[in-house]
Structures are given as structure tokens and as C-alpha cells.
Amino acid sequence: MSDLFSKEDTRPKTERLAELAEQAKSCSACSLSRTRANVVFGMGNPEAPLVIIGEGPGQNEDSTGLPFVGRSGLFLDECLKACGITRKHIYICNVIRCRACAYEAGRLQNRPPTADEVKACQPWLEQTLQIIQPLVILCLGSPSANAIIHRNFRITQERGAWYASKYAPHAIASWHPAYILRLEGAAYNVAKEELVNDIEAARKRVIQARKEPPNSTLF
């Protein structure tokens, strides 16, 4: 019997996320709504204990409506696979849900989201995480770490360290795949190894967190 006095939404997470994604399709809370082809809401397992959050959609993501499907996505999949993880094990989304881009030399190029765009999109991210309630969040890149861990996060100094977040009991940040793909030689190898190590640390933290009592102070 359902609890008549509870306001908690007891519908399956899949259904609640699908409803939220449908609502986001018509979002015009920031100017990125004018240039997007698709809202890239997120994808993966709504029951996942691990959520990976990147920066924002690129051209491939904008045209398909799916996160991490371009070169960066393939690279991320390779790093996940090194830890025995596939997309079925995780939920993946971005800090902003529409492509941030600007004309450079006559072509539309990706650009980092502005603080106002991140703020405008924050409710979608928050509602997503409220539904999934992950045990562990892995942030990829500074904008994600700024939104999830703390506002002054410095990826070069704080990557690989564990934090409590209001969105999950455990949060860690690593390099964004697109950043690693711009590196060469030894720098590329080191950064790739660090990303794989951080993913593996997140996997192990999920196992540990499952043994902890639920944290009722989140959100």
C-alpha cells in the first residue's frame, strides 16, 4: 500500500528521468537554446551508483542528442573498459545540456560554458541527480568539478582527491577526455593513466560506499 502522507515520487527512476528529459527539450533558460540542434540530456543506467559528469555537448552530441559519442566518447569508453566498466554500468551527462559554441575563422567551434549558462542549467543537473541518487560522482574537467565539488576547484591540484558533495557522498574529479586528446607524447600517456586510475578509484569507492549506511543529509 502506498504511503498517503508521503510526497516522495515512488515511480521508477527510468520513468522520472524520461519525463524530466522530455521537459528539458523545450528549455529556453539560456541563449544556447537558440543554436542547439538537440538537448543532450544524458544516457545510461538510471539505477547506476556511479554518475559521470562532463562539461557539455560537442558537435556530434548536438547532432545526435547523445552525450559522449564523438572522439572524446570513444576515448572515454576505452578508459572505462580498462576498468571493466561499460555504459550500462553508469549514467553519464553534462553540466550543460546544449552545445556551447562560437564562430572562429568562419566555423562553429566548441567553447567552454559561461558561468551564467552553467547556472541556468543547474536545475536540470540537480533534478537528474536527485532522481538517480548516485553513491559516487566522477567529474570530468573543471566546469563539472566546480558545479559538483566546489566553486574554486583547481583540476591541476585537486584531481584524484575525494570530496563529499551535496549531490553524492563521494565525488572525485579527473581530466576531461577532450583535454587528454589534445596532449601529445609523455603528457598524453600520463594524463590517460591518471584518468584510468581515477575511474578505477571510483569503481572501488562504489563497492566501499555500498557498505555504508545511507546518507540522509544529501540535498
| Residue ranges that bind ligand SF4, judged by CB under 6 A | 24, 27-30, 32-33, 39, 96-98, 117, 120-121, 124
80/77 Cα distance (integer angstroms) = 5
Q: Which is nearer to ligand SF4, 22 or 78 (CB)?
A: 22
Half-sphere exposure of 108 (CA within 13 A, CB side): 9
62/53 Cα distance (integer angstroms) = 16
Output the smallest distance, CB 118 to ligand SF4, in A: 9
45/51 Cα distance (integer angstroms) = 9
Output the smallest distance, CB 23 to ligand SF4, in A: 10
Q: Comparing C-alpha atoms, which of 18, 13, 21 is closest to residue 40?
A: 21
Output the smallest distance, CB 87 to ligand SF4, in A: 22
Q: Comparing C-alpha atoms, which of 24, 20, 95, 111 is closest to residue 59?
A: 111
Q: Which is nearer to ligand SF4, 28 or 208 (CB)?
A: 28
For residue 134, give the amino acid letter: P
Listed in sequence order, the residues at least 6 apart from 152 whose beta carbon sits closer than 8 Å to its beta carbon are: 146
Output the smallest distance, CB 91 to ligand SF4, in A: 17
Output the smallest distance, CB 24 to ligand SF4, in A: 5
Q: Which is nearer to ligand SF4, 55 or 117 (CB)?
A: 117
What does DSSP assign to residue 87? G
Q: Which is nearer to ligand SF4, 124 or 175 (CB)?
A: 124
Q: Which is nearer to ligand SF4, 121 or 206 (CB)?
A: 121
